[in-house]
Amino acid sequence: MALKTDVLVIGSGIAGLFTALKVSEYADVILITKKNQSDSNTNYAQGGIASVIDTKDSFEKHIQDTMVAGAGLCNEKTVSILVHEGPDRIYDLIELGTNFTRKDGKLDLAKEGGHSMPRIVHARDFTGQEIERALIESVNAKSNITVIENTLAIDLLTEHNANDLKEATLNNRNCWGAYVLICNQNKVEKITSKATVLATGGLGQVYLHTTNPAIATGDGFAMAYRSGALLGNMEFIQFHPTSLYTSEKERDFHAPAFLISEAVRGFGGILRTQDGKEFMEKYDPRKELAPRDIVARAIDSELKRRGDEFVYLDITHKKKDEILEHFPNIYNTCLKYEIDISKDFIPVVPAAHYACGGIAVDENARTSLKGLYACGEVTMTGVHGANRLASNSLLEAVVFGYHAAADIKEFINNYKSKIPGIPEWDDSGTLSADEKVLITHSTKEVKQIMWDYVGIVRSNLRLERAAIRIHNIFMETENLYKKTKIFEDILELRNLVACAHMIIKSAQLRKESRGLHYTLDYPTADYISEPKDTLIRNTHT
């Protein structure tokens, strides 16, 4: 049962849902998502969505804060688009039914690290869940958006899948949809489309400790890489400074670490070592509200210096009713671990949180493959540079999702070519996996290697070790993939390995420390050459 549509959207987080809604104003959409509709990083977002709303704030200040956090690598043009169009997209979200927290009738604005003004629009401390709810309801009300859950995109359809077109060069490649696995039937189908939007979110699951849910296995980055699309700045992985510390026994290896929002520090939270001492003033005059890379490295350094497994975040000096008013989700979750945050310090550790790099796109969300668009966390739009400013991610997803939808309209209106014949999925000669333990082990190995060698602090030796080990796992996984009838876990492992490879390769290409990439071998930024993006492309496809 091959499916056909105008526009295929892959992913049901803020980027996919918002883009699908905008596209549905002029075309039919199939939206696929690998679990249920609300299984996304978006659903976990706490702090909020940054935008210039207050009359005392200005576009210039938001631009400046974004560029400072980005450590010299932001693209001024896309940052300007992000900031100037931000307020309109926030009002779009409100129109679509999102209930943001208000004070005296006005949007309540919180402050977070790196922001010079309070500008974080939020729904208490479950902003993502509220946005996701409103968008899903709007999508489900549209008759020309078909949502297909439990359907995992395996690979994009390009010239190398098409009958007779294998010779097309990397520079003029097209995308015509995707092969997808219908998970609960273990069946592969193809969906062809004039335009395809990758909105598959992040890759936090590459790391042992992450705030990202199990879906964040970097599928979009990996699919784009395998198709020969251009990606950039994959070395810039943001580690959130404060995820709740729990012992290994308390969670399985896919389960996310619970986030203690940056807004808690914005609200006055103080970081302390286990002996109760404050330490942030040693690292940055902005203390707890320095950008995330600085706070995460400061915590990492204190943990290494003292041999501790966590530091504390202290909010006990604030009134309980205020804590409950602002952070009901964090309060209740911590209580499950017997931590009453109005009385007890919260044990926290950094965890992999966000991919600042990704599929290279222009300001209209076009990738280097014709007909392939991307938006949300899977992209490199240039707005985050070497480090993302807090709460700029949800904003990026809606601003560039909006641009994607506008560009796709032109693209499909002028669509003259014919989608070529693409064969059905052929799995003859493959067998069902009888040793799934191999996949579980390899997945754990990838996560451990990346955490130990490609984490907050890197070095040439660590990266080299990681590269060799990941290469071995790559060879084993490809071998297994070719022989096995596919299922979710093997596809996700294959994607994790591809992402690990890209992160390591990009980290090796960057011979300096900048933003989120810190290496002992080049401890400062290269002040002599112009800052450059690290661009990578798979030329073996």
Residue 244 or 263: which CB sits closer to ligand SIN? 263
Is residue 249 within 8 A of residue 526, CB to CB? The reply is no
- Residues at the interface with ligand FAD (CB under 6 A): 10-16, 32-35, 39-42, 44-49, 127-128, 152-153, 199-202, 211-212, 215-216, 219, 259, 354, 376-378, 391-394, 397
List the single partner that 14 binds among ligand FAD, ligand SIN, none, CB under 5 to 8 Å by kind.
ligand FAD
Is residue 69 near ligand SIN by the rule CB under 6 A? Answer: no
Which of residues 11, 13, 16, 47 is near ligand SIN by CB under 6 A? 47
Residue 121 binding target from ligand SIN, ligand FAD, none, CB below 5 to 8 Å by type: none
* 104 phi-psi bin (left φ>0, alpha ψ -120 to 50, beta other): left
Pick from 219, 262, 293, 377: which binds ligand SIN (CB under 6 A)? 262
Alpha-carbon distance 368 to 537, whole Å? 10
Least separation in angstroms between residue 124's CB and ligand SIN is 12
Q: Which residues of 93-109 are buried (b: 16+ CB within 10 A; e: fewer)?
A: beebebebbeeeeebbb
Of how many residues is the chain composed?
Answer: 541
Instruction: Between 11 and 385, name the residue whose CB sits nearer to ligand FAD.
Output: 11
211 binds, among ligand SIN, ligand FAD, none (CB under 5 to 8 A by kind): ligand FAD
Nearer to ligand FAD, 75 or 379 (CB): 379
Tokens of 454: 């490609």
Calpha distance 73→226 (Å, rounded): 26
Cβ partners under 8 Å of residue 274, min gap 6: 306, 308, 310, 311, 312
Edge-to-edge strands, sheet with 231-232: 379-380, 358-360, 231-232, 535-536
The helix-helix angle for 219-226 and 488-509 (nearest 10°) equals: 70
Q: Which is nearer to ligand FAD, 154 or 466 (CB)?
A: 154
Using the minimum distance from each CB to ligand FAD, give the nearer residue, 283 or 487: 487
- Cβ distance to ligand SIN smaller for residue 124 or 226: 124
**Residues 11 and 373 sit within 8 Å (Cβ to Cβ):** no
- Measured in degrees and rounded to the nearest 5, phi and psi for residue 501 equal -60, -45
128 or 232, CB closer to ligand FAD? 128
- Say what the alpha-carbon torsion angle 249, 440, 475, 179 is, to the nearest 10 degrees: -120
Residue 261 interacting with ligand SIN (CB under 6 A): yes
Catalytic residue among 119, 124, 173, 292: 292
Quick check: 253 and 246 in contact, CB under 8 A? no
Name residues whose C-beta falls within 8 Å of residue 106's C-beta, 6 or more positions apart in sequence. Answer: none
Q: Minimum CB separation from ligand SIN for residue 459, in Å?
A: 27
Nearer to ligand FAD, 127 or 368 (CB): 127
Residue 458 DSSP SS3: strand
Nearer to ligand SIN, 21 or 45 (CB): 45
User: Cβ of residue 354: shortest distance to ligand SIN, in angstroms?
Assistant: 6
Least distance in Å: CB of 66 to ligand SIN?
A: 12
What does 33 interact with, of ligand SIN, ligand FAD, none (CB < 5 to 8 A by kind)?
ligand FAD
Chain centroid to Cα 205, Å, comes to: 10
Which member of 231, 263, 341, 507 binds ligand SIN (CB under 6 A)?
A: 263
Binding segment for ligand SIN (CB under 6 A), chosen from 254-262, 299-307, 438-446, 452-460, is 254-262
- Tell me: does residue 43 bind ligand SIN (CB under 6 A): no
CB of 51 to ligand FAD, least distance (A): 10
How would you classify the pairing of strands 358-360 and 231-232?
Answer: antiparallel
Q: Which stretch binds ligand SIN (CB under 6 A): 255-263, 316-324, 329-337, 378-386?
A: 255-263
- The CA-CA-CA angle for residues 234, 258, 124, to 5°, reads 100
Is 469 catalytic? The answer is no
Report DSSP letters for 495-526, one per residue: HHHHHHHHHHHHHHH--S-BTTB-BTTB-S--
Binding partner of residue 212 among ligand FAD, ligand SIN, none, CB under 5 to 8 Å per kind?
A: ligand FAD
Binding piece for ligand SIN, criterion CB under 6 A, among 194-202, 257-265, 373-381, 476-484: 257-265
Q: Of these partners, ligand FAD, ligand SIN, none, which one is at the site of residue 200 (CB under 5 to 8 Å by kind)? A: ligand FAD
> What is the longest distance spanned by two Cα atoms in the chain?
69
Subset of 376-395 contacting ligand SIN (CB under 6 A):
390-391, 393
Shortest Å, Cβ 215 to ligand FAD: 4
What is the rounded (10 degree) CA torsion for 140, 142, 146, 150? Answer: -20
- Give the integer Cα–Cα distance in Å for 460 and 424: 44
Q: How far is the CB of 75 from ligand SIN (least distance, A)?
A: 19
- The three-class DSSP label of residue 389 is coil
| In the complex, minimum distance from the CB of residue 277 to ligand SIN, in angstroms, rounded to a whole number | 24
User: Total number of residues binding ligand SIN (CB under 6 A)?
Assistant: 9
Q: Give me the residue whose beta carbon is nearest to ligand SIN.
A: 47
How far, in Å, CA of 101 to CA of 84, rounded? 22
Q: How far is the CB of 516 from ligand FAD (least distance, A)?
A: 14
**Under the rule (CB under 6 A), what is the footprint of ligand SIN?**
46-47, 259, 261-263, 390-391, 393
Which residues are the active-site residues? 292
